[in-house]
Structure 1
Amino acid sequence: MKYWVAILALFALASPARADWYEASSEHFVIYADDSEKDIRRFAENLERYHSAMAYILNQKLDAPSPSNRVVIFVAGNQRDIRELAGTKDKTLAGFYLPRAGASRAFVQDIRNKKGYPSFSTTVLLHEYAHHFLISTTRYEMPRWMSEGAAEFFAAASFNGDGTIQIGRPAQHRGMELAFADGVSVEQLLDHELYESSRSGRYDAFYGRSWALYHMLTFSEERRGQLGQYWLKVAQGTPSIEAGREVFGDLDALDRELDAYLEQRRMMNYVLKPEMIPFGPVTIRPLPKGEAEMMVVRMRSQRGVDEETAGEVVEDARKIAAKYPGDAGVLTALAEAEYDAGNDDAAIKAADAAIALDPSRKNAYVQKGYALFRKAEDADDKNAAFEAAMAPFSQLNALENDHPLPLIYFYRSFLDRGEMPSESARHALEWAYQLAPFDKGLGMNVAMMQAAEGKIAIARDTLGPLSADPHGGGLAKRAKLYLSQLENATEGESWRPSIVVVDIPEIDADDGED
């Protein structure tokens, strides 16, 4: 995975929508695609089967997410469209995922429902959802090899015509890597500092070997239970390489065993029958003409824009909105584009119009709240301004009690007017992170709040997974720095960091490298 902070490229807005757009809504996903209703339904059902399969294999029962905390998937076109949307020329980019509280977004290529092994774009999505699922089920950090090995293990899945799903198949998309890329030893997998120091700069087999080790430890009779024992030791604070030697024994011998394992002609995998992986209904909604025409604008906005591209997007949004003044979906997207362009009053006006037409449009409340918060920063009477800014978030909370954004902005409403957050506001921020543990920036804010309250041990527990995040970039570095500083902090005494690290990537794009 790579972090792309490049600016959003133009996304072919001149071309009209190619087909009818549909929204597929299920318990864990919302999918937007201009494809056939049949293919979209099958795609949504397969993703729900995948979620159920992970829950079954890992023996994890997750509560259903609040509606706005589901993963929203935009089927954005071909690989070139994905590159333009991501703002990169990297030809290996197959899709990307943005984990954000109340706004997790995945962008994938056109749907290709295949029997057997899925298309590469689907594999990328399955890999990212595996990360999303694993983060949501445990707060114990995984070593990088294990995190990537697990995601690769689950992403190597097959959806069969009889409703069965196979999990843990040989990772075909890693075949060339394992055969021709620079080798990575088990010792390097377990000791990430050693791996980083010995990298040649060339493409290597880190992900393929991580998958292979995870797969072998999952199915090997001789090593049954060792993967769990290893992870437990790491979670208890034992360095990964030490835990590996204690649990796995001679690592050179394990390396040879892994090589032999990869030379097998057949490998085990899980085959789960339909009755083992039940899932809820999928609801399909055809998008009205205006909302369908606005989808490209919506994707650009929710991917993220800068000052220049925000101006381009809002101009396109206004043109479409002028044609469909009575479409609540169009007006909601217009409100977001106006807010991104810095036009707070226009954003509020569009959001109010959308809510008047359809009070269930949750993003309209969000965009109105965002705009009011920004206006409140310069208000003479900040107390009154921030109280007014909380109104749309309170309305949103009434629509969806566990939407994380009203909880986050309740906390912010104190900070932004220079006041100490109340106890209920602090609890609200912690609850938001419970609802959205995949949002690492939110996790950092929670950890700093806990440390400022003198809850040093709890803050360290919160920072642990952030510091070990293999894709955390600057945020992971900051978490490691704070953890080291907290070693000398006194429980019960307020603590604040002495150094601030600011190189935090904002966008997490998957190029198929993990």
Structure 2
Amino acid sequence: MKYWVAILALLALSSPARADWYEASSEHFVIYADDREKDIRRFAENLERYHSAMAFVLNKQLEAPSPSSRVVIFVVGGQRDIRELAGTESKTIAGFYVPRAGASRAFVQDIRNKKGYPSFSTTVLLHEYAHHFLISTTRFAMPRWMSEGAAEFFAAASFNGNGTVQIGRPAQHRGMELAHADEVTVEQLLDQELYESTRRGRYDAFYGRSWALYHMLTFSDERSGQLGEYWLQVARGTPSIEAGRAVFGDLDELDRELDNYLRQKRMMNFVLQPDMIQIAPVSIRKLSEGEEAIMSVRMRSQRGVDDETAQTVVADARAVAAQYPDDAGVLTALAEAEFDAGNDDAAIAAADAAITLDASRKNAYVQKGYALFRKAEEADDEDAAFKAAMIPFSQLNALENDHPLPLIYFYRSFIQRGAMPSENARHALARAYELAPFDKNLGMSLGLMYAGDGQITRAMNTLRPLSSDPHGGGLVRAAKRYLGQLQHASEGEPWWPSAIDADVPMLDESADED
């Protein structure tokens, strides 16, 4: 599903192009930037070093993602450009991240490679990637304070000229917050409902105090092992506040310790030597003239459009395509813009043209598949139409076996025509979520699939992390409603959500996960 964004055409932005556009491709990231090649390479290498450092500190070695499951980063420009792309007037936004299966996108300001503490826009990217990494290593949702505290802990990183990486430095970007914002107690951190009920609507120190507590529990000799024990109890179903009292003891005393900890002049951090950090080579490709011209269209499309802005974007895409009719990258972006604008036949034609020129353009298969699926919903012979719609996804699967979208759409090819998904289709959806555990909508689909199969425990274990996502909005509310119903469901009996949301009980947060 596309995300709404109200923006002016980036083609009309006042920021002039400064350099050639390049694509930097590494094991976990793809970066698009109009900057000097050596700066883009260094930026990509630092991000890979960051990933490796997180894996070392957490002792979590992840499998390398499939190519389309890497995080794609667009270097947009200045803060004004970020605000327009994000559709916000916020003066503090420095970048943002959109997690989607096969299409995770991050948008950041201009590259600023700094020795020592990173620029704020880089810190934002490191914070969001920490979330991405942590979600990929566990199926249990961290309490909000721990999730944000961990992300802040890792984002306070330094990439030094001697090849070392520092993790867990004091969070300098939270200094003013900790000094001047409304204080948040440890009890409020551990009890999210208490925190929400006592907020005054003003800027507070939630992020700063979360970082401080995570940092102290990581390095404190006196409290060694307590953070892991607390997290283990929460993962087993103990409410955060109860686990905190059981593991940490007197929370008022912990508050006082935390205050004293923040008064220290020096704090510990991890200093990882170059031989502790292994990264694969980064490849750099200069974009074609057409790909440079279509980049604004591509960024807006992949951020997401609404009905109105889709028309503006597709008009811009057509104008560029008229100048570069033989550029596969341009035609692929045109296919996406046409689909977003509701022009399925035009999207299919552009995708076919792109594939003819360059059969490796994976997004062309995606956009053709999207358009065929939408057309199949109105077809007289749905079975034949959905079978045909799966062809580009099957071709994409042949190009990249672990691309999550062919797996998702194989399952949807049954659901959208009202057929019972086959066993292979069920396995495909579960595998897709293994590949993209950061996609909350995918997690919702999988949880409901398990519930419909009567696998109530697996359904609840899948939906529970979604119910505690602090940024989930309506999805969080839906997950809580479904979990409330599932508490009364019987294992082995198929379950489907109630059609009357008003009568759905909310989840009892004290209920045991088993």
Normalising TM by the smaller chain, what interval? over 0.9
Q: Does 1:417 align with 2:417?
A: yes
Inter-partner Cα distance in structure 2 for 1:362 and 1:42? 27
Q: Does 1:73 align with 2:73?
A: yes
Alpha-carbon distance change, 339 to 18 in structure 1, aligned in 2, over 3 angstroms: farther
SS in 2 for 1:60: coil
Q: CA deviation at 1:169?
A: 0.2
The equivalences for 1:129-148 within 5 A come to: 129-148=129-148
The equivalences for 1:200-279 within 5 A come to: 200-279=200-279
Tell me what 2:190 maps to: 190
Q: CA deviation at 1:125?
A: 0.3
Relative CO higher for 1 or 2, CA cutoff 8 Å, sep ≥ 6? Answer: 1
Inter-partner Cα distance in structure 2 for 1:421 and 1:394? 17
The amino acid of 1:190's aligned partner reads L
The amino acid of 2:490's aligned partner reads T
Any unmatched runs of 5+ in structure 1?
503-514
Alpha-carbon distance change, 255 to 66 in structure 1, aligned in 2, over 3 angstroms: same
The amino acid of 1:463's aligned partner reads L
Tell me what 1:359 maps to: 359
Q: CA deviation at 1:468?
A: 1.6
Q: CA deviation at 1:500?
A: 6.9
Tell me what 1:507 maps to: none
SS in 2 for 1:114: coil
Contact 1:414 1:420 in 2 (8 A): yes
The amino acid of 2:70's aligned partner reads R
Q: CA deviation at 1:501?
A: 6.5
CA deviations over 1:199-233 (Å, ceiling 9, x no partner) = 11110000000000000000000000000000111
Q: CA deviation at 1:112?
A: 0.4
Q: CA deviation at 1:499?
A: 4.6
Tell me what 2:179 maps to: 179
Q: Does 1:10 align with 2:8?
A: yes
SS in 1 for 2:90: coil
Tell me what 1:445 maps to: 445
The amino acid of 2:281's aligned partner reads P
Tell me what 1:455 maps to: 455
CA deviations over 1:248-273 (Å, ceiling 9, x no partner) = 01100000000000000000000001
Q: CA deviation at 1:17?
A: 4.1
CA RMSD of aligned residues (A): 1.3
Tell me what 1:169 maps to: 169
Inter-partner Cα distance in structure 2 for 1:281 and 1:167? 22
The amino acid of 2:229's aligned partner reads Q
Normalising by structure 2, we get a TM-score of 0.96
Inter-partner Cα distance in structure 2 for 1:341 and 1:466? 31
Inter-partner Cα distance in structure 2 for 1:148 and 1:169? 15
Q: CA deviation at 1:18?
A: 3.8
The amino acid of 1:40's aligned partner reads I
The equivalences for 1:63-142 within 5 A come to: 63-142=63-142
Q: Which moved more, 1:234-243 or 1:72-81?
A: 234-243
Alpha-carbon distance change, 374 to 211 in structure 1, aligned in 2, over 3 angstroms: same
Q: Which moved more, 1:129-138 or 1:18-27?
A: 18-27
Inter-partner Cα distance in structure 1 for 2:348 and 2:315? 17
Number of residue pairs matched by the alignment: 499
Tell me what 1:54 maps to: 54
Alpha-carbon distance change, 306 to 499 in structure 1, aligned in 2, over 3 angstroms: same
Inter-partner Cα distance in structure 2 for 1:431 and 1:5? 24
Q: Which moved more, 1:464-473 or 1:22-31?
A: 464-473
Tell me what 1:492 maps to: 492
CA deviations over 1:374-433 (Å, ceiling 9, x no partner) = 111111111111111100000000000000000000011111111111110011001000
The alignment-based identity, stated in percent, is 78
Any unmatched runs of 5+ in structure 2?
503-514
The equivalences for 1:274-423 within 5 A come to: 274-423=274-423
Contact 2:116 2:159 in 1 (8 A): yes
Contact 1:474 1:501 in 2 (8 A): no
Normalising by structure 1, we get a TM-score of 0.96
The amino acid of 1:421's aligned partner reads P
Contact 1:136 1:438 in 2 (8 A): yes
